[in-house]
Structure 1
């Protein structure tokens, strides 16, 4: 009996049609990969790798990569070892097999099955499953779940997050939030230089937090201007940054937290406790406000993402509201800063974008909607090129569902993989003139009507397949809205060194102050 028949028989014995389909799909994947693995390959132990002691020392004070990013480290290892190497595991964390091969990346994504698994943020998962199972129970969220548990949650959320119709209602309120941000810029910029202060990144985070909060909690938080000291909102705002920092300390760098209660572990647990309480308070207040509006006869948006999540499961709504902020605030604010920096350093591209914007935004305070935003090819090309120019992190994480051959080596089932596609975005073998900011590379050539051929497995900022980022459409919506409003209202400049504007721990983060100059557009 072959593997496909065996899986089907097990599923039928369990009496579940859904299990039959799932098991059949997974079994076919395993069969495909097993066939690949039978090709003569070199053993796993021969994959190049630094020693564990060498790895630890390299990140300690005085080490080769003490002040470097994980991306710098991986790029150096690629130069040293080639397109595949092992990042050693220790203190309870497994090895990470890191590959830069597009063939490896394609093979993994095309054969990952319907329930792809990836390395979890172990400290995050520990909190939800061991410390607070009373809250998270069977819904630890997409970030902290695997296999069928993940599949059920994702299936319930896909219709809410992955379909454009659910996001259409947010164009107008996001326009109002961005109008408020524009007023904030005018308040804080220097009257002579028109430059914003050194801490402008904090202001961009507040913009993104208010935008995401509109979805997560169905109301505007007011952190931009109206209610900058909102206590529960500030707890969640600060949590979004701190959790990522602790994840890097506990789950990426060598850490003993699995064996002893380290200071970083205790701080992480405290932050997660505080943010959970704040989220519960915010959601309770939102529900009370909505009920009052219903009783008074006011119109309530029954198609809001929060309302739809509450219909699925109120506990899941709490989890996803937290995860929207946890996964989205820093990543999206970094992307916004990257787009502005690229446009500031390439004024001709900024001018071309503004020409497109003027056609659909006749006045500075034009409210955006589905009709005005549907035909914005250059805006979307600008954002896509900024994602390439300043990639956020190293790549995507996956776990091998069965034995597989990568770059000629046998990699066993259960191995953690880092698909380091982001480094390829600056590889001349895949992108012509990668050092230049060229949104046109994503558009059709006006003369030929053809696009520049680009290997899709070199550009995966949101991942791929069933486990691609569920918030992609939400990120698209908020960044498109913010960039459109800002470039329609201001000429943006940056008159400082921008040779290394970001550093990377787990994800990209600012390494310099963003003192943008915002000059008003006359028309």
Structure 2
């Protein structure tokens, strides 16, 4: 009861904040004017009397005119150069027959907010019906309860969230998004980059948590070297060396029963960081050393990444007091992010000095860091690129690998098929990997895709709509945050034949032993789609393929304990000790 009262007090105390946001929401920032222009706020979170007849009528009038201006104003205030155009759409959109015949936005089904508490109460302990930490389950529940499109409004301090489960509509949103897609960002990271450390980032926000022209400008500077196939090929051998070291360490960790330790997931994080450090910082960080202490720099980097990413849900979905004063959680978040910046600066400085000493690479392909530094003549761009790759990459790749290893260990028949494929391609397990060999590992790559489909590590993607759009027969105003729940759509029978069955062969061509059936190309998009597709996806694929091929060619993996449940920390992965039994063939 005490906990319940405290939560109610927290929400009640936030009504002053709601009033302030309501005032702020009366203005939208236009790109073609230096001054703010008045408009009517559409945010359900600033309308505690939304259930009354009067406010419902007001809601009907305003939803067609403006997006969630409250959120835009807060984000522009927090970080001005991340602003995007929230001016009203051209009337031409409204003159289309499709728009005129569509149902109004407020008729989209979804949980109904109550006065003052909105829908925030649904996330509260005891009285709430949704668990804030299990976003994957929330996504499934909303689809089961309300259908193909769901409006989740009345979240205190946040604009509406529009969950879309119709894959054809998701495809339409992606294909019509334009050259500078606006992805709903992590406001905590936006504030850190644009306010707390604007002294460092300035106008160079990077690619994570940045939108519009600033995002396009930065991405255009680093995209070519990051995605070049020649760059990817250069790192095959260095990453294979890292992986060989990791497998040797795994052998040293086995107990008398040939089982790996309870905290094996942390060892996977060490491997992931060592790989990313080799790519983004041009160095070996020493993560796989046998005598690594808990307070070592590599372990601190891992801990900082976990903390920064795994507290996003708490920072974003609960009452956002951190936007107005430094809460303990926010203070710790800033401390972790500052540590990241300092570490990246240190290694980039070392790499730059080494580059000056040895001069440009004349023998072989330059490293990623060398390409960025030489092409941009700006160490800060290389530093911010490395920061984004490390921050997002460590936990994402690690949790994906945890999921794949668990699926391999609990699906021996699939593991055997991959082992046979690898034996055929590499009769000698000590044979070095090549790009040509990786290209022929069809079943291994199909297995990875099927794990991503059924157990998508990144549970969803999203966009802030930049144009008024008709979705599932409803008028959706621009500025609304659309959520595309990959974890749900990838498991829907409408888009994937026999979706509940694990079938890697569905991803193979007929000539490779593939099977026929429905497989909508937009049902499972682990790396997103379009201009904002994951920048580091090719490195992520390379790292995972190297690890799985080296592991499964020489070792058998088993899991002999109670089944693990999947849960969301920041990523969707098995929750519990990964006590795999690892034996050599």
Normalising by structure 1, report the TM-score. Answer: 0.88
Whole-Å separation in 1 of the counterparts to 2:329 and 2:109: 31
Aligned to 1:415: 480
Matched, 1:43 2:107: no
Aligned to 2:366: 303
Whole-Å separation in 1 of the counterparts to 2:504 and 2:442: 10
Contact 1:444–1:452 under 8 Å retained in 2: no
Matched, 1:463 2:525: no
Contact 2:119–2:154 under 8 Å retained in 1: no
Whole-Å separation in 2 of the counterparts to 1:326 and 1:183: 26
Aligned to 1:162: 227
2:299 to 229, 234, 238: 234
How far 1:157 moved relative to its partner? Answer: 2.0
Aligned to 1:17: none
Contact 2:93–2:468 under 8 Å retained in 1: no
Whole-Å separation in 2 of the counterparts to 1:232 and 1:272: 14
Contact 2:556–2:584 under 8 Å retained in 1: yes
Whole-Å separation in 2 of the counterparts to 1:432 and 1:280: 49
1:122-141 alignment runs, 5 A limit: 122-141=187-206
Q: Secondary structure of the equivalent of 1:458?
A: coil
Normalising by structure 2, report the TM-score. Answer: 0.79
Q: 1:430 to 1:516 in 2, by over 3 A?
A: same
Which moved further from structure 2: 34-43 or 177-186?
Answer: 34-43
Aligned to 2:271: 207
1:194 to 258, 269, 273: 258
2:124 to 60, 69, 72: 60
Whole-Å separation in 2 of the counterparts to 1:476 and 1:59: 35
Contact 2:507–2:514 under 8 Å retained in 1: no
Matched, 1:475 2:540: yes
Whole-Å separation in 2 of the counterparts to 1:91 and 1:290: 50
In structure 1, list runs of 5 or more residues that go unmatched.
Answer: 1-9, 11-27
Aligned to 2:311: 246
Aligned to 2:170: 105
1:507-522 alignment runs, 5 A limit: 507-521=571-585
Whole-Å separation in 2 of the counterparts to 1:391 and 1:253: 24
Matched, 1:385 2:450: yes
Whole-Å separation in 2 of the counterparts to 1:458 and 1:29: 32
Q: 1:33 to 1:121 in 2, by over 3 A?
A: farther
Whole-Å separation in 2 of the counterparts to 1:438 and 1:169: 33
Whole-Å separation in 2 of the counterparts to 1:189 and 1:333: 20
Contact 1:201–1:514 under 8 Å retained in 2: yes
Whole-Å separation in 2 of the counterparts to 1:371 and 1:221: 29
Which moved further from structure 2: 445-454 or 182-191?
Answer: 445-454
Matched, 1:315 2:380: yes
How far 1:361 moved relative to its partner? Answer: 2.4
2:464 to 385, 395, 399: 399
Q: Greater relative contact order: 1 or 2 (C-alpha under 8 angstroms, separation 6 or more)?
A: 1
Matched, 1:75 2:162: no
Matched, 1:177 2:238: no
How far 1:32 moved relative to its partner? Answer: 7.9
Q: 1:352 to 1:136 in 2, by over 3 A?
A: same
Matched, 1:222 2:283: no
Q: 1:32 to 1:352 in 2, by over 3 A?
A: farther
Contact 1:404–1:413 under 8 Å retained in 2: yes
How far 1:239 moved relative to its partner? Answer: 1.8
How far 1:520 moved relative to its partner? Answer: 0.3
Aligned to 2:217: 152
Whole-Å separation in 2 of the counterparts to 1:174 and 1:231: 22
Whole-Å separation in 1 of the counterparts to 2:94 and 2:422: 48
Whole-Å separation in 1 of the counterparts to 2:93 and 2:425: 49
Q: 1:246 to 1:450 in 2, by over 3 A?
A: closer
Cα distance per residue 1:1-36 (max 9 Å; x no partner): xxxxxxxxx9xxxxxxxxxxxxxxxxx999789847
